[in-house]
Structure 1
């Protein structure tokens, strides 16, 4: 069998370690990653190897040459264009007459490839994908198989609600000619996006084998450190030619020409490369010391990886750090946890490099310096940067002005010089500060900025859709926790920016590799003022003014000190609506509503509606995306009841044929829809999914479970201002009071509960849930929704907390509690296995 090693990656997220090396040549245990892969192939009798190259190809060619030094035959192919993963493999095959094993050159594994090949042959598979279990599968492609190994479904880098298994694609494939022939020559064609869906559609033999053993994709610096931690702990046994010296729990791999002076202490697992010099008093614990390194008197290193030709000065102390080739550290240097020192860097005597810093190649740090962020500051973000089209973090602690500049620069580099981005914010001073940091980064990247200052989010979306902008950014305090800042990213049409695009920005951010504009190409800043007027005028064009005017409504509206207060007074005067407005001034010190404040505001709104005998009361969140309602009797509607009332009104007045609601919404939606002969489809419980299904033209209306609604004709996203006026319009058309409508839905009982679950067990629990519900009527949209005779239950992993959320609904409280109790017990039981 022939092997193709994918060795063309740039290693962006591994920077600065991959500035001077292609990613497959980064050493693991003093041996290039790709050499570990070649050794594994040779061990299993696969000696005919072709490497697909792209970035710094000569460094790979010059190291492996013809492969004879490694007991294999090596050839090299460098595609002349981007043909995708499968297309590149097709380029490497002059003929398609035998099976091929495809493997990445930048992973570490000890899989039994012989066992996998035998299994593949026994199954008579067209393609076998090697799979493994992963505690957190979100960063990988999830693969779902049946008991026999047939692949049923792929989920590429899902959210937790879509993570229906913890079984992931390892990027190791066994392909028969029947599969390879499906790949068109010299065409961009991807395995996961193109080939495998095609094979599924043709019902070909596409199998997945779950492998035992170690597997790690070295995708970023954290994974690079982790694989060494696994080696130090004994979880990973690297294939090292040097015979170890074992003394109790201490294991030393010592190369040739090593010089060790008196009083040197070596503990844990340590690799010493050739010609290493350890001077007296040196202490090493769990370290990889590459070739020709010299470590000075009394220096202490713990959990460190040194590449080759480095010098570490006397009495220096290094902890959990990686040192690149030819680095020079002076005496008494302190590296405090998770520091990256790149090639050819010089650190002066007595310098301190604080935790998480990265020093890029060729830098010099003066003696006595204390470096925290002044050279190339390190990642302080220990999770994924983007979640659901936004970055969320503690204001001025996690999301700082410095961090905002860096995010803006990465986003600007992604968009390209000369692009134009719309920026806006809520009314707070903190949001203004962070927005200006983002703007500075964008301008430095050569991107032009059109600033709307403080506006509601719907106005920003509208402005994007009307102009020729590349993207938009909105900064606000998180509506659920004032301590948090959200930076929300939109595409040029005003939709939430897709995760796939933001992942590219994330890689650029963490790789810290984005160019600044030249002095002649710095972006320019424009203040834009006409969008609000355009929005207001267009809004009225899509409103039945006469109908509302004749109804003569009296309403109470609480603006939550948000920017909707700039829009509604003029609108309501034209609509003939009598209003009492609360919190109608922009307040930079009042920028978010806590749960307690929301409850207090609702109580106040109810009281005023009752006292004034108003027709309805509305409470908008500060950025005017979400709406809460109090009926004419002063009773608040929770978000599920509001959804049912709005759906009922819309179907009475619109003639719609199909609507969409989130998977977590009430079964009452289907009851209403059946009365009107309308189809209901369910989507993920996030705003982007709601917008996408509406944009595709599949539905006439989208109702959310958090007070957000998308109506036809004007906006493509949730707009509380539009929803408010549409509710009035529909009430006028049906001559109905909200208190009358709510009485239809009192028979439904809904409960929810949160069950703690460690992040490391979420994928396993989802896999158990999928298996348990196979024979039940279920929907796999966002979590698992299971329908029973008299109700339903939804089990969904929480995206931000180590927990599962269980929602259940039925006409009976006893039945609802039974559903909750059953799935709570199952989740707790599965966690113990």
Structure 2
């Protein structure tokens, strides 16, 4: 498989296909061909797509490399299986598929023997990875037969650290199930179909080295792994071992006096290293000229490049035919493409990429507009949000680029709706995002300071293709959240966040021509339309007749701009608190929230109110106090709202997060309603609505989705709906609180390093294989009168463990049992104990 674009390796792959990227002075595909030859696999078919002539001209018929190569070129991207289908006429016997852009020394013969011994139709070669999030996770039975796999899961779906390497052994008849000239993938289409039909699909777990060189960070690390000896590859030249140093030297190499070497160094043919230089764990390509007193620290230099005197390169990558003049400095993770010129004394700062053919002037300092933190190198999005410290990680420059990347996904001429909270930093980032969108030719409808539910409403009923809301994070006063929405108001899907990430990191999204720049508008009557449709979706007469007395705390958020006129139409006696915008109060500590609830409780009691509601600043979540001034925790609130809803409707199916109380099933059973458990996040709650039979989605954080009006949580609508349900039921919150406050839920966070998470999940899956369990966002073990959930945190190095029972002691015993198990498994992993 040699058709990759290598977009995440740009700018190194702007002028050549990904399999031709140099790895230890030879194309990475050459390492794969050498591996195949060592395992007597010498008849090779190369499937080409992007820049095929580069590969053909280098490898020819393969004779120079001891193999025979035939080429099949695709003219469209039909996916992995679709590409192989194009070569079906050449595949008349058992064959192996391997990517031409991975670095590995896997024992292919052992994998083939495993395939033959098990009489498999298809065998996936698997390996274990510390962080399996970017790969397809595969679960096998004891005999190696595959039982389940997930394509690029979240941490809550990581049930093993065993991942798909993209190396497959297939019998020819397997290709009969692959359609011609249609997009068809092995891991997404063919293998799930084989699993469903119970065909002989096996997984061989290989113990050797494997790395997908998918991005620049992986590319750099793959080189370090070669130099550290973690992977066996063929290196050209002679090995000259010295004490503490291994030097691979090619032909006709010249090394000046007093040159220092440390670690492992690979020097290509006809290279020259000037006197007094120091080289540490670096690769120097063919025909490279290194001047005097140069310092190379873990750097990679491709062929035909020059580095001038007294220059310093630290963890830098320099492509071919580039000239670096004297006293230049390349900082960590800087990348200089081919045919560039870096002037004397110039500095290329950390993480800066220089595109091909660029000239950096003498003495200049080339800085990216953003010094990215390490986490931007791993991933940009957390769910549908980009989160960063305001004006440090999330700067205006960063936001402009992010807006342009989002605009490229939306497309020229598209329309995006934007809004923000009242904070100064939010306003700054919001305006920068708008600039990026406009630069991509996207039109912007700016709602300015309005809460998130209004943005969702506008997207659901408007003509925009997507939306953005900027706010101060409710979790950290220093952080800013940039939240992305789809065209229907739902949270941005994972596939679309990945598209934005790819465009953001490769930095080659198109800018609009001057006459195509997007237009900025400020829509009128959005709040009026929201109010009108809101009131149509509520039984206002029922609420008016109940004559509720309500205490409402707006938390100084955006709801105070729109909800007073709505609640005023419901005939309620309302006392409002904090009903004005205050940017300084948008972030509240847990202690402040607790104080707000206590204040709300006190006012409810003193004024004999029926209910008290506390909005979060974004108007997506509620805290509720009953008529006795008792705070109703979110787990109990879910039970109360569910019971109210089911009693008043003809619902047949509802959805709740996997962590919700088992009381939901008890209530649903009374009304003959089906319960679906989903991941414990807002996107999963919204996705549940795609099942047309779902009538209600309840959350465990004070948010609910009533499908008739919104596709996402809307705390303003929730207030009105709860009042409507109370009016129809004729029962108070206090009565329902006493009825359903009979479950005990306990929780604990257990630390676990990122590298052990996948292994712990694999052990947990094996330990619980004979138990009644649910594999949704972790592993939930269900007993007759209790349950326990073990789920890995997506952002922190820890596991969350929840346990619930009708008896507190039983819940705590379950919590302690599985907390100890997670700690015990980590200890065994650390000691290298297999079981």
Q: 5+ residue gaps in structure 2? A: 829-835
Match of 1:596 among 591, 597, 618: 591
For structure 1, the 5+ residue unaligned runs are 1-5
Q: Distance in 2 between matches of 1:651 and 1:696?
A: 18
| Match in the other structure for 1:569 | 564
Q: Residue 142 of structure 2: SS of its match in structure 1?
A: coil
Distance 1:363 1:96, change over 3 A: closer
Distance 1:377 1:370 in 2: 17
Q: 1:323-362, aligned counterparts within 5 Å?
A: 323-362=318-357
Deviation readout 1:355-388 (Å, 9 max, x if unpaired): 2211111111112112221699898723311121
User: CA–CA distance in 2 between the matches of 1:305 and 1:297?
Assistant: 18
Residue 626 of structure 1 is matched in structure 2 by 621
Deviations 1:549-606 (A, max 9, x none): 0100010111111111122221122110111111111223332222121111111111
| Inter-partner Cα distance in structure 2 for 1:350 and 1:461 | 52
Deviation at 1:393, TM superposition (A): 1.4
CA contact (8 A) 2:624 2:632 kept: yes
- 1:517-572 per-residue CA deviation (whole Å, 9 max, x = no partner) reads 11121111111122211110001111111110010001011111111112222112
Q: Does 1:795 align with 2:790?
A: yes
Q: Which residue of 1 aligns with 2:241?
A: 246
Deviation readout 1:287-326 (Å, 9 max, x if unpaired): 1000011111111111110001111111111111111111
1:96–1:181 Cα contact (<8 Å) kept: no
**Contact 2:464/2:487 (8 A) holds in 1:** yes
Residue 639 (structure 1) aligned with residue 634 (structure 2): yes
Of 656-665 and 782-791, more deviation after overlay is shown by 782-791
Equivalent residues of 2:236, 2:248 under 8 A apart: no
Q: Give 4+ residue runs of structure 1 displaced > 3 Å after superposition.
A: 374-380
Residue aligning to 1:233: 228
Q: Higher mean Cα deviation, 348-357 or 804-813? A: 348-357
Shift of 1:338: 1.6
Residue of 703, 709, 722 corresponding to 2:698: 703
Q: 2:678 aligns with which of 679, 683, 696?
A: 683
Match of 1:668 among 658, 663, 671: 663
Quick one: which of 167, 172, 194 aligns to 1:172? Answer: 167
The answer for the alignment partner of 1:108 in structure 2 is: 103
| Equivalent position of 1:274 in the other structure | 269
Q: Measure, in 2, the Cα distance between the counterparts of 1:379 and 1:809.
A: 38
| Superposition RMSD in Å | 1.4
Question: CA 1:96–1:202 in 2, change beyond 3 Å: closer, same or farther?
Answer: farther
Which range moves more in the overlay, 767-776 or 44-53?
44-53
Counterpart of 2:789 in 1: which secondary structure? strand
Q: 288, 294, 298: which one pairs with 1:299?
A: 294
Native 8 Å contact 1:572 1:578 kept in 2 = no
374, 388, 394: which one aligns with 1:393 = 388
Instruction: Using the TM superposition, give the Cα deviation of residue 770 of structure 1 relative to its aligned residue in structure 2, in angstroms.
Output: 0.3
How far apart, CA to CA, are the structure 1 residues paired with 2:489 and 2:815? 39
CA distance, structure 1, for counterparts of residue 391 and residue 373 of structure 2: 17
Alignment of 1:147-296 (within 5 A): 147-296=142-291
Q: Is the 8 A contact 1:628 1:639 kept in 2?
A: yes
The corresponding residue for 2:607 is: 612
Query: Counterparts of 1:107 and 1:319 in 2: how far apart (Å)?
Result: 25
Are the aligned partners of 1:381 and 1:398 in contact in 2 as well (CA < 8 Å)? no
* Residue 433 (structure 1) aligns with: 428
> CA contact under 8 A between 1:358 and 1:378: conserved in structure 2?
no
Equivalent residue for 1:727, pick from 722, 725, 735:
722
Q: Is the 8 A contact 2:636 2:741 kept in 1?
A: no
Matches of 2:94 and 2:558 in 1, distance apart?
Answer: 63
Deviations 1:378-426 (A, max 9, x none): 9872331112111111111111111111111111112211111111111
Deviation at 1:232, TM superposition (A): 2.3
- Give the Cα–Cα distance (whole angstroms) in 1 for the partners of residues 583 and 373 of structure 2: 32
Distance across 2 between alignment mates of 1:221 and 1:774: 39
Shift of residue 178 of structure 1? 2.2
Q: What TM-score, normalized to structure 1?
A: 0.98
SS at match of 2:815: helix
Question: What's the counterpart of residue 732 of structure 2?
Answer: 737
For 1:399-438, list aligned pairs within 5 A: 399-438=394-433
- Of 357-366 and 601-610, the range deviating more from structure 2: 357-366
Matching of residue 25 in structure 1 with residue 20 in structure 2: yes
Aligned ranges for residues 428-827 of structure 1 at < 5 Å? 428-827=423-822
Given candidates 93, 101, 105, the residue that maps to 1:98 is: 93
SS in 2 for 1:251: strand
CA distance in 1, matches of 2:658, 2:702: 15
Please name the residue that 1:3 is paired with. none
2:288 is the alignment partner of 1:322: no
Deviations 1:630-660 (A, max 9, x none): 1111111111011111011111111211111
Asked if the contact 1:327/1:346 (under 8 Å) is kept, the reply is yes
TM superposition score normalised by structure 2? 0.98
What number of residue pairs does the alignment pair up? 828
* Greater Cα shift, 228-237 or 791-800: 228-237
**Residue matched to 1:68:** 63
Q: How far apart in 1 are the matches of 2:616 and 2:357?
A: 50
Query: Residues of 1 paired with 2:57 and 2:567: CA distance?
Result: 74
Counterpart CA distance in 1 for 2:625 and 2:631 is 4
Q: Give the whole-Å Cα distance in 2 for the aligned partners of 1:482 and 1:663.
A: 29
Determine the C-alpha separation between the residues in 1 that align with 2:104 and 2:91.
27
Note closer, same or farther for the CA distance 1:379–1:405 as it changes in structure 2 (3 Å cut): farther
Cα deviation for residue 93 of structure 1 reads 2.1
> Does the 8 Å CA contact 2:195/2:201 hold for their aligned counterparts?
yes
